[in-house]
């Protein structure tokens, strides 16, 4: 157990057994293998050592003052029920199609339209997941530049279309860079913007075929997603900024 890549593929099973992830049959099979595999025997010893080191550590208690400040902050936060109706039906929609029944006819029609559009929900999930993944260290930008004339040519040769790149630093949405990403199995351009203490990812790809011009928007786990199309391109912006700010960002893009 010295290299980064385990020398016996079963060492991950040794670990899984230690973590209580194997059923009895799998454990028995592993036991039979391990009896003759010095690599797995050594792996088990080292895993047990690593576990003993960590398991001795107490759970750090949360200081009372931190708890008090968190509670105070929560008390100031408006409960979901106090938010405007427009936001609420969007959540209701997220809970599932069956919830549409209790709502007004107009809302219900809008909701069923959203629910019936194939793939829309998956794509939103993918966009949020991709955005969060990109926030991990070293994943945010492949080209780091606040200059649209640097970011735009970077996509040449990396992607089969030329995404529009604009900087809105003057309006409070400075461009930070760009990267290549994948959504629904196709490469897309991701432009990275900053708004105060938040990151906005803008995914751009060409409109394919007769897709509906969705202007739906949604929120998942605190991330807002807005969508628009222009000049034959799909745009989807995702961020944890407030909805109003993301709308302002979208409006800037849609200004000629």
Contacts to another protein by CB under 8 A: 1, 4, 6, 11-12, 15-16, 19-21, 46-47, 49-51, 53-62, 66-67, 69-71, 73-75, 77, 79-83, 88, 91, 94-96, 129, 132-137, 140, 194, 197-199, 219-222, 240
CB of 49 to another protein, least distance (A): 5
Of the pair 47, 103, the CB lying nearest another protein is at 47
Of the pair 9, 160, the CB lying nearest another protein is at 9
CB of 19 to another protein, least distance (A): 7
Of the pair 15, 41, the CB lying nearest another protein is at 15
Q: Tokens 């203490």 appear where? A: 197
Inter-residue long-range contacts of 205-213, CB under 8 Å, 24+ positions, other chains counted: 205/161, 205/163, 205/233, 205/234, 206/161, 206/232, 206/233, 206/234, 207/232, 207/233, 207/234, 212/117
Kindly state the tokens that stand for 250. Answer: 């979208």
The DSSP output letter for 159 is B
Kindly state the tokens that stand for 43. Answer: 């792996």
Inter-residue long-range contacts of 59-66, CB under 8 Å, 24+ positions, other chains counted: none
Of the pair 218, 234, the CB lying nearest another protein is at 218
Of the pair 98, 232, the CB lying nearest another protein is at 98
CB of 237 to another protein, least distance (A): 15
CB of 181 to another protein, least distance (A): 15
Whether the Cβ atoms of residue 149 and residue 138 lie closer than 8 Å to each other: no
CA 78 vs. chain centroid, Å, equals: 25
CB of 108 to another protein, least distance (A): 19
Planar angle of CA 194, 200, 206, nearest 5 degrees: 125
Of the pair 103, 233, the CB lying nearest another protein is at 103
CB of 149 to another protein, least distance (A): 23
H or E element, residue 168: none
């Amino acid at each position: 157990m010295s290299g980064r890549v385990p020398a016996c593929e079963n060492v991950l099973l040794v670990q899984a057994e230690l973590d209580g992830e194997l059923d009895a049959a799998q454990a028995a099979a592993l036991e039979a293998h391990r009896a003759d595999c010095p690599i797995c025997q050594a792996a088990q010893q080292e895993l047990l050592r690593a576990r003993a080191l960590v398991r001795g550590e107490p759970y750090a208690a949360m200081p009372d003052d931190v708890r008090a400040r968190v509670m105070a902050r929560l008390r100031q936060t408006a409960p979901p029920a106090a938010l405007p109706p427009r936001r609420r039906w969007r959540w209701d929609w997220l809970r599932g199609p069956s919830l549409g029944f209790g709502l007004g006819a107009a809302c219900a029609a809008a909701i069923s339209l959203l629910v019936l559009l194939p793939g829309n929900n998956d794509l939103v999930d993918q966009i949020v997941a991709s955005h969060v993944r990109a926030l991990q260290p070293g994943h945010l930008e492949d080209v780091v530049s606040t200059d649209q004339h640097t970011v735009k040519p970077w996509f040449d040769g990396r992607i089969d279309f030329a995404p529009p790149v604009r900087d809105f630093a003057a309006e409070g949405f400075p461009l930070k860079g760009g990267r290549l990403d994948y959504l629904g199995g196709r490469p897309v351009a991701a432009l990275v913007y900053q708004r105060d203490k938040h990151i906005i990812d803008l995914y751009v790809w060409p409109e394919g075929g007769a897709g509906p011009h969705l202007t739906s928007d949604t929120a998942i786990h605190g991330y807002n997603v807005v969508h628009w199309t222009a000049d034959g391109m799909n745009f989807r912006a995702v961020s944890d900024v407030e909805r109003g700010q993301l709308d302002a960002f979208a409006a800037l893009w849609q200004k000629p």
